[in-house]
């Protein structure tokens, strides 16, 4: 599973564009980090909400995949995210965690922290679907 | 207002990284487009959900800003997005529309279409807040 | 289908408790109304958000069901609702509309209006799943 | 604050209609329970999603209020809820918890459990606003 997730992550052109890194994969939980750069900003010079969302969506998707059968693919059906603090940090840490996994649907929670993993910048709830290949 | 939005958009490093373009600004509605490139993909070679989300969030934010006083800034409080069709197109078209504008809060709806503006790829509902400078 | 939906609605104890009425069923759209009473209030004497949500969730669910095969049942996976104006009216009108229907999943939009269908009180986006019996 | 919340809860006609009870108030957390009755069902005889939503929305609102100034009122701006298991229990237990509290906005998480507080039936994320009276 680890190998499959690493390979899949490696194929995501956007993750390379954002220079995001897959730093942890365990059953039900995946962590992705992303260093600050001016290429990733909104108009005030902080991380753009879109970067925050992109990496936490990927973290939730792969967390869901860790609970699915080997031949399954995962797709995001929908998510909701609350932005609670400015994304003003030198590195974003996104953690996706499975809250409920079923045969078809998986519900994940995503957390975005600052580089010290102390300040909760945003919180996501995502619904994922398993696609049998 | 048009000038302010163009300048603000120009300061978003992420929009330049995604090569997104601001193509329409009118009262209560803003359109942003983004051409396909391999730098923007998920693992199956389509647009990553994060790109879809980034540009429609920006479109909603600027749509909200068109209804706010001149000295206001806009921040995204939260949004929810449903992905309805694969983002398999040569260009994404994101449209942000104001559904309800108040003194403090503005609710927007965001639509992501394919390049012909025929296929609805995703739908967002976003809550924005006006920050007085 | 009309008959099935009426029977199903009739079995919802909550709809009777709220004295909600099913007033329109057409392909992809269902309308439910609910008259004001003190039994349905929040602390300021208007309709409770829970009443608004209950009837628009039912309207979305049945709207989804109109697009599903005859032997399917519908379940709400998740929804998000924005409350835009106080629910201060003598009758709530809830309209559920199908935005996208698929074999497994259906995305609906729900609207809650005042008794004149002029003021948009709340807006829902809901994801429904078809369960084959 | 406890007294204010009890009085406010007492004024919610809907909570009486649902026979919901306010069973815990502490700083940042409120618990509301609701016994099963046929008056609260959906078409399969379980608790209606609307009942689940009504009591967890109230729990989140009052949890937010525990963190606000004494003269503030609380309103729900929006929420999102995922239904994860059938609401098949003799009593619902709803817990609202503050995730982030600010001067204007408060983000809460709501949990709905079965009567043993073991099975997580649904999960809510809600945004509340403080209204100065």
pLDDT in tens, A61-114: 999 999 999 889 999 999 999 999 999 999 999 999 999 999 999 999 999 999
Sheet containing strand C72-83, strands side by side: C20-26, C29-35, C91-101, C105-113, C120-132, C72-83, D72-83, D120-132, D105-113, D91-101, D29-35, D20-26
Interface test with C, best of D17, D30, D62, D126 (most C CBs within 10 A): D17
Task: Using an 8 Å CB-CB cutoff, list chain B residues near D127.
Answer: 77-78, 127
To the nearest whole angstrom, how far is the Cα of B60 from the nearest Cα of chain A? Answer: 12
CB pair distance less than 8 Å for B57 and A38 = no
Mean pLDDT of D75-96: 97
CB pair distance less than 8 Å for B77 and D105 = yes
Block residue for tokens 């509902």 = B125
Q: Which residues contact B68 (CB under 8 A, 6 or more apart)?
A: B74, B101, B106, B130
pLDDT at position C2 = 87
Chains in touch with A (3+ beta-carbon pairs under 8 Å) read B, C, D
Q: How far is CA C23 from CA A28, C29, C63, C113, in A?
A: 45, 11, 12, 14
State which residue of chain B sits closest to A48, comparing Cα positions: B14
| β pairing state of A29-35 and A105-113 | unpaired
pLDDT at position A8 = 93
Q: Are A78 and A110 in contact (CB under 8 A)?
A: no
Nearest by CB: C82 against B84, B120, B127: B127
Block residue for tokens 């608004």 = C52
Contact residues of C toward B, CB < 8 A: 80, 82, 84-85, 99-100, 107, 120, 123, 125, 127
Look at residue D83 and tell me whether its pLDDT is greater than 80.
yes
Please give the Cα distance from B109 to B100 (Å, whole number): 9
Q: Are A114 and A104 in contact (CB under 8 A)?
A: no
Q: Which residues contact B108 (CB under 8 A, 6 or more apart)?
A: B60, B61, B63, B64, B96, B97, B98, B99, B124, B125, B126, B127, B128
Look at residue A133 and tell me whether its pLDDT is greater than 80.
no
Q: Is residue D132 very low, low, confident or very high in pLDDT (cuts 50, 70, 90)?
A: confident
pLDDT at position D10 = 95
pLDDT at position C132 = 84
CB pair distance less than 8 Å for A57 and B41 = no
Task: Using an 8 Å CB-CB cutoff, list chain D residues near A107.
Answer: 82, 84, 123
Number of H helices, E strands in chain D: 3, 6
Q: Are A83 and B77 in contact (CB under 8 A)?
A: yes
pLDDT at position C1 = 79
To the nearest whole angstrom, how far is the Cα of B102 from the nearest Cα of chain C? Answer: 9
pLDDT at position C26 = 97
Note the pLDDT tens digit of each residue in D102-111. 999 999 999 9
pLDDT at position A70 = 87
Q: Which residues contact D114 (CB under 8 A, 6 or more apart)?
A: D88, D89, D91, D92, D93, D121
Using 70 as the pLDDT threshold, list the residues of chain B that sit under it. none
In the numeric block, which tokens belong to residue A100?
Answer: 């409920």
State which residue of chain B sits closest to C83, comparing Cα positions: B107
Cα dihedral A102, C29, D43, D113, rounded to 10, equals 40
State which residue of chain B sits closest to C108, comparing Cα positions: B82
Chains in touch with B (3+ beta-carbon pairs under 8 Å) read A, C, D
Nearest by CB: A123 against D84, D120, D125: D125
In the numeric block, which tokens belong to residue C35?
Answer: 């008259």
Q: How far is CA B122 from CA C10, C129, D9, in A?
A: 34, 18, 39
Q: Is residue D70 very low, low, confident or very high in pLDDT (cuts 50, 70, 90)?
A: confident
CB pair distance less than 8 Å for C55 and D50 = yes
Look at residue A119 and tell me whether its pLDDT is greater than 80.
yes
Nearest by CB: B123 against C84, C120, C125: C125
B-C interface: how many C-beta pairs under 8 angstroms?
32
3-class secondary structure, A73: strand
pLDDT at position B104 = 94
Sheet containing strand B120-132, strands side by side: A20-26, A29-35, A91-101, A105-113, A120-132, A72-83, B72-83, B120-132, B105-113, B91-101, B29-35, B20-26
Look at residue D121 and tell me whether its pLDDT is greater than 90.
yes
Among candidate residues A20, B23, A107, the one with its CA nearest the CA of residue C78: A107
Q: Are C77 and A105 in contact (CB under 8 A)?
A: yes
Q: Which residues contact C53 (CB under 8 A, 6 or more apart)?
A: C79, C81, C122, C124, D50, D53, D54, D57
pLDDT at position A128 = 98
Look at residue D133 and tell me whether its pLDDT is greater than 90.
no
Using 50 as the pLDDT threshold, list the residues of chain C that sit under it. none
Kindly provide the ipTM of the predicted complex, given to two decimals. 0.95
pLDDT at position D1 = 79
pLDDT at position A132 = 84
Look at residue D26 and tell me whether its pLDDT is greater than 90.
yes
Burial of residue C119 (CB within 10 Å: 0-12, 13-18, 19+) is middle
pLDDT at position B2 = 87
Task: Using an 8 Å CB-CB cutoff, list chain A residues near D80.
Answer: 80, 125
Q: Which residues contact A118 (CB under 8 A, 6 or more apart)?
A: none
Q: Across chain C, which distance is largest between two alpha carbons, in Å? A: 43
Cα dihedral C50, C52, C55, C58, rounded to 10, equals -80
Contact residues of D toward B, CB < 8 A: 77-78, 80, 104-105, 127, 129
pLDDT cut 70: percent of chain D above it? 99
CB pair distance less than 8 Å for C123 and B99 = yes
In the numeric block, which tokens belong to residue D5?
Answer: 């919340």
State which residue of chain A sits closest to B37, comparing Cα positions: A13
Task: Using an 8 Å CB-CB cutoff, list chain B residues near C123.
Answer: 99, 107, 125
C99 φ, ψ (degrees, to nearest 5)? -95, -40
Q: Where are the alpha helices (DSSP H) in chain A?
A: 2-11, 13-17, 49-65
């Amino acid at each position: 599973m680890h190998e499959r997730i690493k390979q899949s992550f490696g194929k995501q052109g956007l993750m390379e564009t954002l220079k995001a890194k897959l730093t942890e994969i365990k059953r039900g939980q995946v962590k992705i980090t992303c260093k600050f750069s001016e290429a990733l900003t909104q108009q005030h010079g902080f991380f753009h909400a879109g970067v925050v969302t992109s990496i936490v969506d990927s973290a939730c998707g792969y967390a869901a995949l860790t609970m699915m059968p080997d031949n399954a693919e995962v797709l995001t059906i929908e998510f909701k995210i609350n932005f609670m603090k400015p994304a003003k940090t030198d590195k974003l840490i996104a953690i996706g965690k499975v809250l409920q996994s079923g045969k078809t649907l998986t519900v994940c929670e995503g957390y975005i922290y600052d580089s010290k993993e102390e300040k909760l910048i945003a919180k996501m709830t995502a619904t994922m679907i398993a696609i049998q290949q």
